[in-house]
Structure 1
């Protein structure tokens, strides 16, 4: 209760964090209900008029009232594509972090609790994984999948594949953190008592030790969501992420990049601004959560 009350107390006193949480909640809500609030469906080809392509937003001369944020090079409404694109980016971000946490927590528990050869094997595997950048791993795996199954197959399962690719690239962050927590906890009295009464190792790890590692897991997850969204945007910009027919924030930025010189700056700038704001508020929330959940705050 002390940690929960301090968390709430800190939240009430920090206007900036409240504003960040409000912006993030509104962006998530808008993305979730995109099919109901978007002016048009960017996936429906019958609603796209190529004659309405590259129309500017409402504050620029030559705009069309039907498209408040203008249109892209294909004639799609920018507001609709941004709403749907944010939805895809958030799905990939949350899905990839869930996969990272699942793999990392299990490996971290096993490495810290069992020790010995299991610890050495899993941590060396994590070290190898960390020696490569996330983007490099994602590019290699994405290129192999496209070469093996074709671009059409990749496009059909792009969301699921990106979740797996980004998730597999970042699990060591969780594994190393959970392992450190397990090493600090497994020698305490409550763990010894659980062993004495004959509880199986699986129950001790997941029911007794894991709850004490939840605070750093929550902090890491907040930051990793932002990292996963950025990774998706980078892969889409490089042509290894979401296709243009299935807009994400990254693919929207990529689709408009070639039209900046022709004056259609909004095709790239608007989804880029949404991406920057989304990542910024998530990182600010993660920084605040890290400071509040710092164990040193509870020594007294």
Structure 2
């Protein structure tokens, strides 16, 4: 059969022949990071089925079993591998549920950042003129405030207006909204720079001559050529969003202690460090460090792969 009539390569064949897969096979750090990340994500989202207890179920919490140490410390109990916190909750269970909450906030905030930043960046880069100037000055103003500053102000105002009970009820979507709105300029500036490099190329001029709308040209033709930096930024921003949630929880403006996240677990155990119950803070803190580390390592690898000039091989 001639090559002209042969079937096109499958997705698997194209992946096997791609630079992405070739680079991944040669990078043991990226392989290990991806395995650890997949394991942590799977464990977090399977928490309702694999965790020893449900930290939201008061019937499963024994206050008399509070501050029990992990299994490698004298005085531990076999039912609590990583010990218990000050409320008597199983630490392994709260960490699994808490990691799930942190991941939901991290991915949700990045999705909102990307949606806003990509739209504003495409519009600013393609239209130019006053629209570009307005959106970029808005981004500059936004960047002059740190994420934590914006989150602290908005979170404190929400608590003052609606009360702590309402804040606790809507803590997850509110944190997604706060962190997402605080970080969209990172995407907007990067996408704008890519669009400025693409909008003068022949395929864009051809699309205009064909009478295609500006929206179709931006999203169907220009956007696919700007995805590489978006993917790289997203990996970094997921880690930043998880850290921001942890910092806000530590300051009392994140997840409440009754709804564990990695940040709220670290905060809840901070007051017990002096009493010797170090595991309440140290164990979830270690999980947070590992999670952020593997995401950043994957981001570094992805940056090098998508820019072969930086890849050392």
TM norm structure 2: 0.93
Q: How does 1:261-280 map to 2 (within 5 A)?
A: 261-280=274-293
The residue that corresponds to 2:8 in the other structure is none
- Distance in 2, matches of 1:120 and 1:100, equals 20
| Aligned residue in 1 for 2:265 | 252
1:17-56 superposed matches below 5 A: 17-56=30-69
2:164 is the alignment partner of 1:147? no
Paired residue secondary structure (1:109)? helix
> 1:3, CA displacement in angstroms?
11
Cα RMSD after superposing both structures: 1.4
* Cα contact 2:16–2:22 (8 A) shared by 1: no
Shift of 1:297: 6.6
Cα drift, residue 295 of structure 1: 5.8
CA distance in 2, matches of 1:296, 1:114: 31
Deviation at 1:4, TM superposition (A): 7.1
- What residue is the counterpart of 1:120 in the other structure? 133
- When residues 291 and 225 of structure 1 are mapped into structure 2, their CA distance, relative to the original with a 3 A threshold, is same
Unaligned runs of 5+ in 1: none
User: Following superposition of structure 1 onto structure 2, how do residues 3-152 of structure 1 map, counting pairs within 5 Å?
Assistant: 5-152=18-165
CA distance in 2, matches of 1:3, 1:213: 23
Mapped to 2, the partners of 1:148 and 1:126 lie a distance apart of 27
Shift of 1:5: 1.0
What is the distance in 2 between the residues matched to 1:114 and 1:3?
39
- Counterpart contact for 2:15–2:21, Cα < 8 Å: no
Task: Give the aligned partner of residue 180 of structure 1.
Answer: 193
How high is the TM-score relative to the length of structure 1?
0.97
Q: Distance in 1 between matches of 2:157 and 2:86?
A: 30
* Structure 2 CA distance for aligned equivalents of residues 112 and 54 of structure 1: 56
Alignment of 1:158-169 (within 5 A): 158-169=171-182
CA distance in 1, matches of 2:193, 2:256: 40
Which ranges of structure 2 fall in alignment gaps of 5 or more residues? 1-13
Distance 1:134 1:224 in 2: 12
Further displaced range: 230-239 or 132-141: 132-141
